[in-house]
Protein backbone atom coordinates (compact mmCIF):
# COMPACT_ATOMS: atom_id res chain seq x y z
CA UNK A 1 0.00 0.00 0.00
CA UNK A 2 2.83 2.42 0.85
CA UNK A 3 4.50 1.57 -2.44
CA UNK A 4 1.43 2.70 -4.32
CA UNK A 5 1.09 5.83 -2.18
CA UNK A 6 4.63 7.14 -2.77
CA UNK A 7 4.35 6.44 -6.50
CA UNK A 8 1.08 8.37 -6.69
CA UNK A 9 2.71 11.24 -4.80
CA UNK A 10 5.60 11.22 -7.28
CA UNK A 11 3.20 11.51 -10.21
CA UNK A 12 1.23 14.26 -8.46
CA UNK A 13 4.40 16.24 -7.70
CA UNK A 14 5.50 15.89 -11.33
CA UNK A 15 2.30 17.60 -12.46
CA UNK A 16 2.09 20.23 -9.69
CA UNK A 17 5.80 20.98 -9.30
CA UNK A 18 5.47 20.69 -5.51
CA UNK A 19 7.52 18.42 -3.27
CA UNK A 20 5.87 15.05 -2.67
CA UNK A 21 4.38 14.51 0.80
CA UNK A 22 5.62 10.91 0.75
CA UNK A 23 8.74 9.57 -0.96
CA UNK A 24 10.10 6.06 -1.40
CA UNK A 25 12.57 6.71 1.42
CA UNK A 26 10.00 8.10 3.87
CA UNK A 27 7.69 5.17 3.11
CA UNK A 28 10.51 2.72 3.91
CA UNK A 29 11.34 4.53 7.16
CA UNK A 30 7.68 4.62 8.17
CA UNK A 31 7.48 0.88 7.67
CA UNK A 32 10.75 0.04 9.47
CA UNK A 33 11.36 -0.67 13.12
CA UNK A 34 14.31 1.02 14.83
CA UNK A 35 15.64 0.01 18.22
CA UNK A 36 18.04 2.17 20.23
CA UNK A 37 20.34 0.92 22.99
CA UNK A 38 21.58 3.37 25.62
CA UNK A 39 23.53 0.87 27.72
CA UNK A 40 26.97 2.21 26.66
CA UNK A 41 26.03 5.74 27.67
CA UNK A 42 24.75 4.55 31.02
CA UNK A 43 28.01 2.65 31.60
CA UNK A 44 30.20 5.65 30.75
CA UNK A 45 28.25 8.22 32.81
CA UNK A 46 27.44 6.65 36.17
CA UNK A 47 24.24 7.89 37.77
CA UNK A 48 22.93 9.41 34.52
CA UNK A 49 19.16 9.23 34.14
CA UNK A 50 16.97 10.30 31.26
CA UNK A 51 13.99 12.56 31.90
CA UNK A 52 10.59 10.93 31.55
CA UNK A 53 8.91 11.76 28.23
CA UNK A 54 6.04 13.55 29.97
CA UNK A 55 8.46 15.91 31.73
CA UNK A 56 10.29 16.66 28.47
CA UNK A 57 7.02 17.44 26.70
CA UNK A 58 5.86 19.72 29.53
CA UNK A 59 9.16 21.61 29.51
CA UNK A 60 9.16 21.99 25.72
CA UNK A 61 5.57 23.27 25.75
CA UNK A 62 6.33 25.75 28.54
CA UNK A 63 9.35 27.09 26.60
CA UNK A 64 7.25 27.36 23.44
CA UNK A 65 4.48 29.25 25.22
CA UNK A 66 6.97 31.59 26.91
CA UNK A 67 8.63 32.27 23.56
CA UNK A 68 5.35 32.97 21.74
CA UNK A 69 4.21 35.28 24.56
CA UNK A 70 7.45 37.27 24.25
CA UNK A 71 6.94 37.66 20.51
CA UNK A 72 3.31 38.76 20.92
CA UNK A 73 4.32 41.43 23.46
CA UNK A 74 6.49 43.21 20.88
Q: What is the pLDDT of residues 4-34, one digit of tens each?
A: 999 999 999 999 999 999 999 999 998 899 8
pLDDT attached to residue 1: 86
Would you tell me how many other CB atoms lie within 10 Å of the CB of residue 13? 15
Helices (H), the chain: 2-16, 24-31, 39-44, 53-73
Would you tell me how many other CB atoms lie within 10 Å of the CB of residue 9? 19
Asked if residue 71 has pLDDT above 80, the reply is no
Asked if residue 74 has pLDDT above 70, the reply is no
CA distances from 62 to 30, 51, 65 (A): 29, 16, 5
Mean of all residue pLDDT scores within the chain? 91
% of the chain with per-residue pLDDT over 70: 95
Amino acid sequence: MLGLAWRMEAVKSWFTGEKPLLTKETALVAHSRTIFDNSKLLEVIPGFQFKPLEVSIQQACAKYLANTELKSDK
